[in-house]
Structure 1
Amino acid sequence: MFKSKLLWRMAVIILIAVFSIAGIIACGGGADITGSSGSFSTSGGEDTGTGGGETTPTPTPNQDDNYTLPNDNPSDYYRVHVPFGVGGDGFTNVSYKDTNRLKKLWLEQINRKAKNDGKVFAIRNRANNRDANNFQNRHTHGQYSAQDYYYFNENGDIVWKEDNTIIKKFMGAIITEYRNVTITRGNKNIWLNNSMAIDKIRWSKKGIYTIGAIYANALTTDETRRKYVSAQNPFKDGIFDFITYRHHLEAFNNGAWCWNEYFERQYTTLGFIEVLVMDESNNLGYSGSAGVHSYYPYYGKFNRVEGFTPQNMPYMTNQNIYLGQRPEYTDRQLTHTALFTDGWRGWCFLFMPGHKN
């Protein structure tokens, strides 16, 4: 009995080491993602996000930003960074109330209007580590093959290319603030250290505003599990991670057996929302690309839903709570941060220039 347990433990250690190496290599190495304060446990603890932020130099004015809405107050306007959507230095002035223009700016961003190079953004899936010239081609893994990326349809929805399923529906855009993010990895209190596990995610405000796109997830967690989860097919399995932000949290050892805790966003109905942000600072070394970051409200813990009260549910499912609101308000509600672009874990999600559809 003791021998079998020892062999089992050695096998687990070997497997974790292999996956750790694969995670570091798969996307070209982990990104240097730094930050401080504003901490929370990914098990569902509070993320206060009260970090001090950075000092930002005053950008050069852009020619196409001197507009006002009727009866607007000058304090309604924010200088936002939309590097792929507007020309000049990539900054423009926009009112937080102007939901139509914010929506337009996001669509111009994903269509790379400022670059005017005939390319649009698509999103690489989790296991797709190909460059801009190849990531939209069909690829094979064992007996499976797929065009493993997401494209934006004419409405701005995110669609998986292989089966043309809408994964996330575009609901509008708001002003939000870039975040510095620090991830504490590994399990520090046990003999078995899994470097792929996430212990804490901390973030602080950068002091730079940008466009955040509100997306409603078009699949529930259970539906995604039934349709896409596969230990053998990394193409489909990546969709589950794009919905749930699944990751290993903790591994416990009681002297004889180990068991694990995982975080999965439990989307029990359609329409749970998140705010997607393009972050050039986390582009895994690919010029002209951007990291896929998500700021989202969530009241679950681990893979459970005890925090899904009638009072909390609207904040997780109703985009109208956020549309047309100041970023100082919305950022307080978006208490969690997900880095889908995470080279350390081999997560290759990335906004990358490519062709339509």
Structure 2
Amino acid sequence: MINTKSLKVSKRIAVILLIAIFSIVGIVACGNAEDISGSSSGGFTPIPEPDPGKTGPLTTDLPSLGLDYKKDIPTETKPIPPTSEDFPEDTKYEIYAPCVTWEGNYLVVSYLDTNSLNDIWKKHVARSGSNDNIRWIIRDGDNRQTNPKEGNYYYFDNNADIVHSGNYANGIKLKEFVGGVIVKYNQDNTGQASDVWTIGGLYKTLLNKDNNNSEGRQGYGKHDNKNLNEFMRATHNREEGDLSIILMNVGYATFDDRYDFIFSYEFGVDEYYSTTDNNYRKNASYFIGKNPSEYYAKLDAKINHSRDLNSYNFRFIMAEAENGWLQ
């Protein structure tokens, strides 16, 4: 007789064994499906250790972009400033500007061309056309010396600022150069009005009359010198920040053989400014790049410092340049 109980146990064991066999086959199959090593062995292929004897340096070569770095990479260039040729014709004036090139006394320049006007004024006072190291200076009102650099005088430094030199206020900067401007002569020594336009320098007064200025420098009136007071225009109480135009008035030309120079000439010193309109008294933007016919009409004070040489001996005269002078 067959033992049914033993048969049931044997069937149960067989079922368990079959389940185990199918599970193992499934795990192996899954392992083969996830193999990304490219191996046909059915498992992960380990990365081999490098052979020290065969290992070389790492390469750092990058693909060429085909650029010639000296030619193909753009370099920064400075813009070329415009010249008077680039401005409208109705902004141009023919101005009398001797001593700039010596190739001609007249230049055509636009009042919008501020760079050229600055350059023309600096070249004018430096007598650049002469190329002889002789510069214009302004003889002070009390200077009666044969040598123009003896006594008191004013010179233009390397920024074209006006500096006093002499036995009082020595080395003091009095007027700061703001920019070159076009201006018309008021009149000549005969009292005749002029229609000649010329180059001038717009200057800012640096000192007050009586009080210290913003930098603590004493007022020009404290020097108690009538010539300095005249040049600084104490009559109109000119103060720090006040603007005026300085120009050489050739209508007050004289020949004087006292000085040992090739060209022994002297010229008048003119100064024009406004006493009534605060815009033209203080604001340089009313002059720089503006129509000279407009601002000239606003300058109610037109002073010629050379009008009476018996009283004041102010003149543009020539002297050899030194260190600190406009070169």
TM over 0.5: yes
CA shift for structure 1 position 90:
0.9
Distance 1:347-1:148 versus aligned 2 partners, 3 A rule: same
What residue is the counterpart of 1:277 in the other structure?
A: 247
CA RMSD after TM alignment: 2.1
Query: Taking CA–CA contacts closer than 8 Å with sequence separation of 6 or more, which of the two structures ends up with the larger relative contact order?
Result: 1
Distance 1:68-1:316 versus aligned 2 partners, 3 A rule: closer
Q: Do structure 1's residue 209 and structure 2's residue 180 form an aligned pair?
A: no
Q: Do structure 1's residue 171 and structure 2's residue 141 form an aligned pair?
A: no
Structure 1 outlier segments of 4+, above 6 Å: none
CA shift for structure 1 position 239:
1.2
Q: 1:78 touches 1:95 (CA, 8 Å); kept in 2?
A: yes
Show CA shifts across 1:244-289 (max 9, x none).
Answer: 1x5xxxxxxxxxxxxxxxxx1112x411111111012213434433
Q: 1:103 touches 1:173 (CA, 8 Å); kept in 2?
A: yes
Q: 2:189 touches 2:251 (CA, 8 Å); kept in 1?
A: no
Counterparts of 2:309 and 2:303, CA distance in 1: 14
Counterparts of 2:192 and 2:205, CA distance in 1: 23
What residue is the counterpart of 1:327 in the other structure?
A: 292
Show CA shifts across 1:306-346 (max 9, x none).
Answer: xxxxxx32221111111111121111111211111123542
Counterparts of 2:315 and 2:210, CA distance in 1: 25
Q: Do structure 1's residue 318 and structure 2's residue 283 form an aligned pair?
A: yes
Indicate the structure (1 or 2) with the bigger Cα radius of gyration: 2
Q: 2:138 touches 2:315 (CA, 8 Å); kept in 1?
A: yes
* Secondary structure in 1 matching 2:222: helix
Counterparts of 2:137 and 2:189, CA distance in 1: 26
Distance 1:265-1:181 versus aligned 2 partners, 3 A rule: farther
Q: 1:274 touches 1:296 (CA, 8 Å); kept in 2?
A: yes
What residue is the counterpart of 2:94 in the other structure?
A: 79
What residue is the counterpart of 1:353 in the other structure?
A: 318
Aligned positions of 1:31-180 closer than 5 A? 68-70=84-86, 72-131=87-146, 134-137=147-150, 147-162=151-166, 163-180=170-187
What residue is the counterpart of 1:238 in the other structure?
A: 227
Q: 1:86 touches 1:92 (CA, 8 Å); kept in 2?
A: no
What residue is the counterpart of 2:236 in the other structure?
A: 265
- TM-score normalised by L of structure 2: 0.63
Calculate percent identity across the aligned residue pairs: 23
Q: What residue identity is the alignment partner of 1:330? A: Y
Counterparts of 2:115 and 2:272, CA distance in 1: 21
CA shift for structure 1 position 349:
0.8
Show CA shifts across 1:112-150 (max 9, x none).
Answer: 01222220111110011234xx0202xxxxxxxxx4111
Aligned residues: 223
> Which structure 1 segments of 5+ residues have no match?
1-66, 138-146, 184-201, 230-235, 247-263, 300-311
Distance 1:284-1:343 versus aligned 2 partners, 3 A rule: farther
